[in-house]
A and B are shown apart, each in its own frame.
Chain A
């Protein structure tokens, strides 16, 4: 039987797995709870090697072990959260959780009752372990640099295990552990002329890596051609999945948020009235794609699929528990920011191999960059072309272009001016590591656009 939180430990040394430690702490919180109190506790943990590369060599290699625990205490409609770091030493961690619990108990009477508090009334436990074993990061990076020998390679390898866990006083237990790698790299010709590639997944295959490196080298030859400086104007354009990912990423910034839609702050607010995208456009949050956990931080289970856009119309939104309570909506497993974690867009009928032929003459955009709204009311978006973006004539790549700024509305790009959607889609695992490695993804096709407005 586990000791209560205030019992001394004989030896404070690392023992057992992270999952065992989390379960032990949750059990101890259970036993320390007083009448009328509820709690939730979440864990975000990772053991990651990060290897930063530049000019085909290693710039900064390192290792990060972090475990963030967030304890929420609820009593009489009042609640607060305390996030703290765990050390992996049982006695110290027990003391920190004990302090946090005592602190929250002291704080709650100072707070107002929360009219928007919503906790799950159904216990839904789960346990997922995926991925691994992986080679060591040192072995991986050797293979990367060997495959890119002699090239101006710059990028990041992030590898290791990531955990998300949840426990509550109602007995719910969720565990989600992924062992994965995410390699993002660019091969440079000169200045801003480069090809960006990625290789991410749960099982490392050196042959697959070499294949992707070889494809990148082929593209680098095209990027090395004399660049074409285009005048601003309207051009036909093919946006590869990695370019569309930037647009999806901007939309993730509140456009699907139930709260933002309810308060008319969403960039898709026009779609609450008469605005529509092309009828072939369909998007959903689909937790069967990607690597996101099937539960969110308040412990709500996620439905397998949340339709967002169907037939070009807005049919749903991402609703967090707070938003559900505030606006009398139904919570659907969204996180507090109501941003998608596993966005998917349906494919169309254009074969990806036929995309350049269908483009005929125009821009093949490999990557977009630094998008933002120039008029959020109209979902008007500005951003830059980046990396492998080419001028195409008669279905054949002619030259890379000097970077261009676009400024156009989503209702043009995926509406009136949408010509075709590729049948093939790519699963793009999030590579950003702000605060920690992410478990979000987007599954996207490429799109052919009759005209796209470039301004600078």
Chain B
């Protein structure tokens, strides 16, 4: 019933269930007081308790505590009207216990010593009660004792005041409402701060402090029975760690008028043609393509079957690693938690594994899965530090973090020049893929025809479909670093119980040859 949470459970995250226009599950969070804005809480003032782990000492083989405190402020102006300010503060701790070969967890918002002790006790009880039926023998699992810290870039630098945020958003909203055919427009910014502390029974302690900024602009135009929507890199596609520099990086100021003009242009544009042709996907569509047809199929817990009842399985099997030709030899994909501004950069995952850059696909050949320490143990495969939970009240599972397509050597104008007939597509608007992550169909907000090596007119409702196992082999050109954008989504959905998590994707523009393209119904 909290109104910033989707109610039906049917709103869609990027994956099986997603959140369209949603304010996201986790726009939670806010400031503790007007004088203590969320973005200015240095780690030394962390409200996360410094309780002495030794005083808790549950009767189990191994335990860990993961404290999370997130704050968020959401500023929004819709059709020139300031929307109600929403603040939130979310505190809690996840206790995990290994006992007699079993595993259990318990999460509580009561972070007092008594509260944490009770959670550890409950986690231990679950570990004992389930040991005789445990899928994984916890006695064989690693017992991490990590030490370290992490902080987002510019995490301590001040941000604009509330008045300044609202003024900026009001300006963009006003610029976007340039024509009576603009029937809706939203300009918003979310600022989130997340402090996390992981403590393990072996003496491990990790503190990480993240600051995220999500600016968003969207415009809807309508005339003569036709509605078209245009946004700045999709709904919260701009989501990075850092501060106000993120808005400048994406040209936020002045974008309201531009995307409104583009929405109006789409109203008058012809439908995208149908047929087999080349597509040039811009980074704000590439990130979806990477996410759905490389990221999810490579998640090791899917491959091991954990997600089969919900998010699905994978066409990738454990025997493919090291030999399978995933794409053309231009395809290079990395798990890269080291790109500082990217949304899911961190020093340690939520199981305490140190994070480092790893090639998942090199020169088209599949190298490694996206699997954390527990999945690696189960599958006897090397993986990455991607065991992640979206909050204190969910256990870690294998997730994407930063999953990037490495740049190639093609200049943008050369990529255009090399297309005889095709469509340039930008900004994802529709996504659907089967539960093995193979047969997909994706749509974009805006298309532009490419004919004889030159960009021509705008087309609306551009869609394409394909099969992951063959699509990446049609990768014909990979843009150079100048075409690269660092984007992502805060809304990657997966897991039982369900979790929506932040993932980053960086990608250049790419050309795919001979793709099945089509347009809208009329």
Chain A residues packing against B (C-beta within 8 Å):
12-13, 42, 44, 48, 50-55, 57-68, 70, 72, 79-89, 92, 96, 99-100, 102-104, 106-107, 110-112, 114-117, 138, 141-142, 145, 154-156, 158, 164, 166, 184-186, 188, 191-192, 194, 196, 248-250, 252-254, 263-265, 269-270, 273, 293, 296-298, 335-337, 339-341, 369-378, 380, 382-384, 386, 403, 405, 407, 409, 430-436, 438, 440, 455-456
B195 within 8 A of A: no
25 interchain pairs (CB within 8 A)?
Answer: A13-B114, A42-B1, A42-B2, A60-B103, A61-B105, A62-B104, A62-B395, A64-B393, A103-B31, A154-B306, A184-B496, A188-B305, A249-B10, A264-B222, A336-B3, A340-B8, A370-B16, A370-B435, A377-B521, A383-B432, A386-B434, A405-B441, A433-B496, A434-B498, A456-B465
Complex Cα spacing A263 to B402, Å:
36
- Nearest to A102 among chain B residues (CB) is B33
Complex Cα spacing A266 to B320, Å:
43
Select the stretch in B79-87, B249-257, B342-350, B351-359 that faces chain A: B79-87
Contact of B107 among A62, A252, A373 (CB under 8 A): A62
Complex Cα spacing A103 to B10, Å:
33
Inter-subunit contact A80/B520 (CB<8 Å): no
Inter-subunit contact A369/B16 (CB<8 Å): yes
- Nearest to A13 among chain B residues (CB) is B114
Q: Which residues of A contact B123 (CB under 8 A)?
A: 62-63
Inter-subunit contact B9/A184 (CB<8 Å): no
Complex Cα spacing A110 to B85, Å:
10
Most chain B CB atoms below 10 A, which of A115, A154, A186: A154
Closest beta carbon of chain B to A161's beta carbon, Å: 15
Count A-B contacts at CB 8 Å. 356
Closest beta carbon of chain B to A344's beta carbon, Å: 14
User: Which 8 pairs between the two chains have the least Cβ-Cβ distance?
Assistant: A432-B9, A62-B105, A106-B34, A336-B3, A83-B88, A156-B496, A249-B10, A378-B521
B139 within 8 A of A: no
Inter-subunit contact A196/B11 (CB<8 Å): no
Contact of A407 among B3, B35, B108, B441 (CB under 8 A): B441
Q: Which residues of B contact A83 (CB under 8 A)?
A: 2, 4, 28-30, 86-90
In the complex, besides A62-B107, A297-B3, 4 extra interface pairs with C-beta distance below 8 angstroms are A83-B90, A114-B81, A296-B1, A336-B3
Complex Cα spacing A246 to B35, Å:
46
Inter-subunit contact B89/A82 (CB<8 Å): yes
Q: Give the size of the chain B interface in residues (CB under 8 angstroms).
A: 107
Q: Which residues of A contact B393 (CB under 8 A)?
A: 64, 66
Most chain A CB atoms below 10 A, which of B4, B166, B499: B4
Complex Cα spacing A96 to B110, Å:
12
Inter-subunit contact A61/B103 (CB<8 Å): yes
Chain B residues packing against A (C-beta within 8 Å):
1-13, 16-17, 20-22, 25-26, 28-35, 81-82, 84-92, 102-112, 114-115, 122-123, 126, 129-130, 133-136, 162-163, 166, 183-184, 220, 222, 225-227, 229, 304-306, 308-310, 312-313, 393-395, 397, 430-436, 439, 441, 443, 461, 463, 465, 467, 493, 496-500, 520-522
A103-B222 in contact given A185-B309, A265-B229 (Cβ < 8 Å): no
Closest beta carbon of chain A to B375's beta carbon, Å: 11
Q: Which residues of A contact B22 (CB under 8 A)?
A: 337
Inter-subunit contact B87/A81 (CB<8 Å): yes
A87-B8 in contact given A106-B33, A184-B309, A374-B430 (Cβ < 8 Å): no
Q: Which residues of A contact B436 (CB under 8 A)?
A: 191-192, 403
A63-B126 in contact given A372-B431, A374-B443 (Cβ < 8 Å): yes
- Nearest to B128 among chain A residues (CB) is A138
